Structure 1
Amino acid sequence: MIDSHCHLDLLAQKKDLRFALESAKAAGITRIMAPSINPESWQALQGLSEQYSGLFPIDTALGLHPYFLTAGSFDKPHSSPEENAQSVEERLRQLEDATTNLHPSVKAVGETGIDGHITVPLALQQHVLYTHLKLADKVSLPVILHHRKSHHLLVEALKQTKYQGIGVVHAFSGSVEAAKGYIERGFYLGIGGTITYERAQKTRNTLEFLLEHHFDKLLLETDAPDMPMCGRQGEPNEPGYLTDVVNAMSERFTVSTQEIVSTTSANYLRLFNITS
């Protein structure tokens, strides 16, 4: 199994990371994608990819998460809007610099995107997303997209930037039509803990369609330490719990756990252009 979205640096703040990774390996995890949220994050993740290379490969991505784009999210907790704008631009410059000399673990640009639930100004989120998309095209890396109440805005961004690459919409929980829109553009969809909940009927209905028609576009993910699985509420999520997603898919639909694991793993390697 491959966890296509796991914030290892944030998990390390909540659990013993070595124990969590050893547990993940015992559960059948063979690889992890660790997207970043800011420059400090991507530096930490690259270090973790080296530190734990003996367990399994840890891929990383370079990005600025929309949650962390306003004053107080970086190193100036009381900065003015003008200072914060300068801070964001400086981090975007750092992002571009980091792609000129890629660490071996870097396989994508992200996590970036648009979130309709937060107070970060939409214009700022769009500016940062557009910059990520243009950079991903420039360096020929897939992009990892975050969404909440923003599918139409993400599609608009892909059109406005004339994005030519591919990527993954992580923690996908949209409609069949939204899924088709991304897939037509070459995107993959990350399936996580949402489907372990009985209340997630819309997402399950979409997943049923995707398993029948677009199984080759699905990835598995935990989004650890967030998005706890059903029955594990109140505790940090971790990559070893990915088996909960696989089992939920297998029990709900007529597909074996072996097929889920082998297909989604092949999808991951294809998306991120990994041959070894």
Structure 2
Amino acid sequence: MLIDAHCHLDFPDFDADREAVFDRARAVDVRHFVVPGTTRARWPNVLALGERDDVSVCLGLHPYFMEEHGEGDIEALAQALDDHPEAVAIGECGIDARFTGTLDAQWRLFDAQLKMAKTRDMPVVIHCVHANDKVAKRLRQLALPAGGLIHAFAGSPEQAKNFLDLGFMLGLGGAVTFDRAKRLHRAVESLPDGGYVLETDSPDMPLAGHQGQRNEPACVAEVCRAVASLRGEDFDKVGTDSTATVRRLFDLPP
């Protein structure tokens, strides 16, 4: 059994055929889905998906959508977590250094969510683009007790080790399927068996050969094959290791 550890199935990209997307995933033995929140306005859609037995949810405020976040969103997040103890993590939150104009605001929002995760002893799901070293430094300062997930990791073996030493797992997705991603490939080869999870980031991050197409959770099986090839392991071992790590990280039932 496979788990897609990070997929945005609440996004409108799936409104026309969401149930068919679940069916295609189940057809390749993807049986559980972790859906993170991105904006306060979308939390109800995320929580509605969480009513399914095969979906676990996170709630957070994503740095990509800074223009959609407003006054009182952090307080609203705290209240939503109180009201919905089924949420397995805080996120998706983090830093996207491509957007230099909002970086200061991103750090304030990220810091508030990290402190909330520490207070609540919850894992945190982190979006980290061009900011691995700075994010690792902040995580080291805060020493979050429940760790979390560095979603869509694309860094070096050294950066991978830094995050692992801080109690964070690494999310491996479509980027591993590209031949040009040599640094990431070296990182994947270096990871311990319990140091990574498989994900798609659906509908984004399409795999090699599928550029420009909508990504979906069924593709986590292809990610699994790519990771297995890089690590010199068989498909079943990689899938079993990833599933066990997702369950441990998010405290999912067996």
TM-score (norm 1): 0.87
Q: Supply the distance in 1 between the matched residues of 2:79 and 2:54 (Cα, whole angstroms).
A: 24
Residue 79 of structure 2 aligns with which residue?
97
Say if 1:116 and 1:150, in contact at 8 Å, map to a contact too.
yes
Give 1:162 shift.
Answer: 4.2
**Residues 11, 17 of structure 1: 8 Å contact kept:** no
Q: Given residue 63 of structure 1, which amino acid in structure 2 is its aligned partner? A: G
CA drift of 1:275 comes to: 2.8
Match of 2:58 in 1: 61
**Range moving further from structure 2, 125-134 or 244-253:** 244-253
- Describe how 1:147-166 pairs up with structure 2 within 5 A: 147-166=128-147
1:6 is matched with which residue?
Answer: 7
C-alpha distance 102-120 of structure 1, shift in aligned 2 (>3 A)? farther
Q: Is the 8 Å Cα contact of residues 60 and 92 (structure 2) preserved in structure 1?
A: yes
Q: For the pair shown, which has the larger CA radius of gyration, 1 or 2?
A: 1
Q: Report the equivalent of 1:269.
A: 247
Give the match's secondary structure for 1:100.
Answer: helix
SS at match of 1:215: coil
Q: Which runs of 5+ in 2 are unaligned?
A: none
| Within-5 A mapping of 1:65-144 | 65-70=62-67, 73=68, 87=70, 89-104=71-86, 106-144=87-125
1:145 equivalent to 2:131? Answer: no
* 1:80 alignment counterpart: none
Contact 2:188 2:231 in 1 (8 A): no
Change (3 A) 1:120 1:102: farther
Report the AA paired with residue 84 of structure 2.
L
Correspondence 1:32 to 2:33:
yes
Cα distance in 1 between the residues matched to 2:61 and 2:237: 34
Deviation per CA, 1:61-97: give whole Å up to 9, x if none.
Answer: 1100001113xx35xxxxxxxxxxxx2x311110011
Contact 1:222 1:239 (8 Å CA) reproduced: yes
Partner of 1:175: 156
Aligned position for 2:197: 219
Distance 2:140 2:230 in 1: 35
Contact 1:11-1:224 within 8 A present in 2 as well: no
2-structure distance, mates of 1:22, 1:92: 35
- Aligned residue pair count: 253
Partner residue of 1:49? 50
CA contact (8 A) 1:108 1:272 kept: yes
Give secondary structure in 1 for the equivalent of 2:11.
helix
Matched residue, 1:248 = 226
How far the C-alpha of 1:168 sits from its partner, in A, is 0.6
SS at match of 2:194: helix
The offset of 1:252, in angstroms, is 3.4
Q: Residue 257 of structure 1: CA displacement?
A: 0.4
SS of the equivalent of 2:58 reads strand
Paired residues of 1:14 and 1:236 also in contact (CA < 8 A): no
For normalisation by structure 2, the TM-score amounts to: 0.94
Give the residue type in structure 2 aligned to 1:96: A
Contact preservation (8 Å) 1:166, 1:185: yes
Task: Give the conservation status (yes or no) of the 8 Å contact 1:69–1:120.
Answer: no
Question: Structure 1 CA distance, aligned partners of 2:21 and 2:187?
Answer: 31
